[in-house]
């Protein structure tokens, strides 16, 4: 029996042959092979084609260099299993990916990027559904053919993730496939990596120094440990870091990415990241960093356009190859409404194949992407619609265990609902029991359509489910969901804990965000004295990172509150802090100020920092 991998190779060969307009007999004649050999390859009966056979087929089909590499990788996977430099992709198997059509120029640029031409960071941008994630899949395939080690990570739209989450996720995914011996080799010289992955302390030990280090030096050593790890795991062709949804990057992971890009030549590192630039306000720090990196030739930007009419027609034809009732009238209607956006075509073709759309009523269906998603939702059972709504509020990825608990339904009913959502291709489950939306546009439409009251209620249910986990892992998620719920005051203790943990991780920008959120929420609740205490911490943090003007302003706000409340002792304390703020202004734009952080001895750590600085 042919394996799934051999079937994938056979399907790929058949696709190339069909595109060339050749029968099996005609291909056999061109390649100097027998028609029986071509049939055996396409059916998966022959699962180990010789290299010379592959060359003859590629020449006969006039394949591009990238297509040749794709065919060779499929054959190698079939005959000898995965390369030791490959990883399990978060995007699923090759068979599950839609065909790539009309991106020859982009694929050529991606190949050049992997070959070391141009800046180390390549940014893919465009509207949602334009095909960025599909090109990331193709990049991973090309990198595998070049013997590169591939690490994949992604960002989320909200703050329920650790400060360095995308990089941490990429490292965790790689380490999960290591044997104990290989893990020790990969972690050689990476002692400070335990700052980001505390679970590695048993293997690495706790990082120490013979003398006290300034917090900014600890941060630098942690970043250097990540770079050393990437050097250790690099394959013969180097290492590729793939990141999706870059627009959700926080300030600290942006710093780490910048460090890695600037060290890329010594690591053998290439980075490709995707972000969508419509209907999303990219955070100013990230936008500024991107502009600076492009100006400094550290990054290049590739904007994706919709498919041309002929390319869209080709893609739809491939998507509907096995649709028995396909006709030109149906294709014309779909192409007219899709307007060259690949996801529109994939979504419509999927609905046609599964019968979710009746061809007789095709003209009456609103074909913009929002209506397509809504239509696919309406055919789900009510329980499945509810569970998918909960998943949309949680985020683009969620564990099945959390999703079932937050749904408020019995376990068996929640699992049945999840199965229905997966069959409708709204959600997909990976081998770890994690569910994600098959495309982020589906998630975006669902979130946009949800009413405020329902969204707040779901946020509260999700937070209550997370509280049952009783784990520090969920601090940021608890902060996010409670601050967006109908019981926002419950976020306060988690904001304090999240800020403290961010400080311990040397994630200064993230800690600042949590302090601002905590102070603002306390102010809204009328707890002005408590807010003033948070402003004290924030002002002290701003002072030690040399943002002196801002520190004075925040501390003055705290002092004014204490003065109005008649709290002389607290007022005197804050005035003493203000007196210690240096007179000079903040660093000029474009210059980086040192970002010291408290040590790991417990408490707020500010007192220890003051002693170090003095």
pLDDT tens digit sequence for 383-427? 998 999 999 998 878 888 888 889 888 888 999 999 988 887 788
**Cα Rg for the chain, rounded, in angstroms?**
27
292: CB partners within 8 A, 6+ apart: 590
SS3 241: strand
Give residue 76's pLDDT.
Answer: 61
With 0-12 / 13-18 / 19 or more C-beta atoms within 10 angstroms meaning exposed / middle / buried, residue 457 is middle
The pLDDT mean for the chain works out to: 80
> What would the mean pLDDT of 516-531 be, rounded to a whole number?
93
- Is the pLDDT confidence value at 348 over 80? no
- Is the pLDDT confidence value at 492 over 60? yes
Question: Residue 367 and residue 354: Cα distance in Å, rounded?
Answer: 17
With 0-12 / 13-18 / 19 or more C-beta atoms within 10 angstroms meaning exposed / middle / buried, residue 246 is buried
Whether 245 contacts 275, CB under 8 Å: yes
- Is the pLDDT confidence value at 40 over 60? yes
Instruction: Categorize the per-residue pLDDT at 369 as very low, low, confident or very high, splitting at 50, 70 and 90.
Output: low
As separate numbers, helices (DSSP H) first and strands (DSSP E) second, the chain gives 30, 8
- Is the pLDDT confidence value at 598 over 90? no
Whether 233 contacts 172, CB under 8 Å: no
Whether 553 contacts 585, CB under 8 Å: no
* pTM given for the model: 0.61
Whether 428 contacts 422, CB under 8 Å: yes
- Is the pLDDT confidence value at 341 over 50? yes
Tell the residue number behind the tokens 């990198």, with chain if given: 143
Q: What is the dihedral angle through the alpha carbons of 106, 110, 115, 119, rounded to the nearest 10 degrees?
A: 100
Q: Among 118, 97, 179, 110, which residue's Cα sits nearest to residue 139?
A: 110
Quick one: tokens of 221?
Answer: 């050593």
Tell the residue number behind the tokens 């995965």, with chain if given: 82
């Amino acid at each position: 029996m042919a394996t799934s991998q051999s079937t994938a190779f056979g399907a790929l060969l058949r696709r190339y042959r069909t595109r060339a307009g050749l029968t099996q007999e005609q291909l056999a004649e061109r390649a100097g092979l027998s028609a029986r050999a071509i049939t055996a390859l396409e059916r998966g009966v022959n699962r180990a084609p010789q290299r010379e056979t592959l060359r003859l087929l590629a020449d006969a089909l006039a394949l591009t260099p990238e297509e040749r590499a794709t065919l060779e990788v499929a054959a190698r996977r079939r005959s000898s299993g995965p390369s030791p430099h490959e990883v399990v992709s978060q995007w699923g198997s090759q068979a599950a990916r839609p065909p790539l059509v009309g991106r020859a120029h982009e694929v050529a640029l991606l190949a050049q990027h992997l070959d070391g031409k141009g800046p180390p960071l390549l940014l893919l941008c465009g509207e949602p559904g334009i095909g960025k994630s599909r090109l990331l899949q193709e990049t991973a395939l090309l990198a595998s053919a070049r013997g590169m080690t591939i690490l994949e990570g992604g960002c989320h739209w909200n703050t329920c993730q650790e400060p360095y989450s995308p990089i941490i996720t990429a490292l965790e995914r790689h380490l999960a496939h290591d044997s104990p011996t290989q893990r020790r080799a990969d972690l050689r010289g990476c002692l400070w990596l335990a700052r980001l992955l505390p679970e590695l302390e048993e293997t690495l030990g706790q990082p120490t120094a013979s003398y006290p280090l300034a917090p900014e030096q600890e941060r630098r050593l942690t970043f250097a440990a990540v770079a050393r790890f990437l050097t250790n795991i690099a394959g013969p062709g180097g290492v590729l870091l793939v990141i999706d949804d870059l627009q959700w990057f926080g300030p600290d992971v942006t710093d780490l990415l910048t460090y890695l890009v600037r060290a890329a030549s010594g690591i053998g590192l290439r980075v490709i990241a995707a972000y969508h630039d419509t209907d999303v306000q990219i955070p100013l720090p990230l936008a500024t960093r991107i502009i600076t990196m492009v100006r400094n030739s550290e990054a290049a930007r590739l904007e994706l356009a919709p498919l041309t009419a002929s390319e869209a027609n080709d893609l739809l034809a491939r998507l509907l190859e096995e649709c028995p009732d396909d006709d030109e009238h149906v294709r014309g209607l779909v192409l007219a409404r899709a307007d060259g956006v690949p996801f529109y075509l994939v979504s419509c073709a999927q609905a046609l194949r599964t019968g979710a759309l009746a061809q007789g009523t095709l003209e009456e269906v609103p074909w913009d992407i929002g209506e397509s998603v809504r239509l696919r939702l309406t055919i789900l059972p009510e329980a499945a619609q509810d569970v998918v709504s909960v998943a949309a509020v949680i985020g683009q990825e969620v564990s099945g265990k959390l999703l079932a608990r937050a749904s408020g339904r019995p376990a068996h009913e929640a699992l049945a609902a999840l199965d229905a959502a997966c069959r409708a291709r709204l959600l997909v489950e990976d081998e770890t029991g994690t569910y994600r939306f098959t495309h982020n546009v589906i998630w975006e439409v669902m979130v946009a359509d949800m009413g405020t009251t329902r969204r707040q209620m779901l946020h509260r249910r999700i937070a209550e489910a997370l509280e049952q986990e009783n784990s520090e892992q969920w601090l940021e998620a608890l902060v996010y969901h409670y601050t967006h719920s109908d019981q926002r005051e419950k976020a306060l203790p988690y904001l304090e804990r999240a800020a403290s943990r961010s400080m311990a991780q040397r994630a200064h920008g993230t800690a600042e965000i949590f302090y601002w959120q905590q102070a603002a929420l306390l102010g809204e609740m009328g707890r002005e004295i408590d807010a003033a205490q948070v402003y004290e911490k924030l002002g002290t943090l701003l002072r030690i990172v040399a943002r002196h003007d801002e520190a004075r302003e925040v501390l003055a706000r705290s002092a004014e509150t204490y003065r109005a409340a008649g709290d002389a002792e607290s007022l005197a304390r804050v005035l003493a802090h203000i007196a210690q703020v240096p007179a000079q202004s903040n660093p000029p734009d474009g210059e980086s100020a040192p970002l010291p952080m408290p040590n790991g001895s417990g408490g707020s750590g500010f007192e220890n920092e003051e002693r170090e600085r003095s």
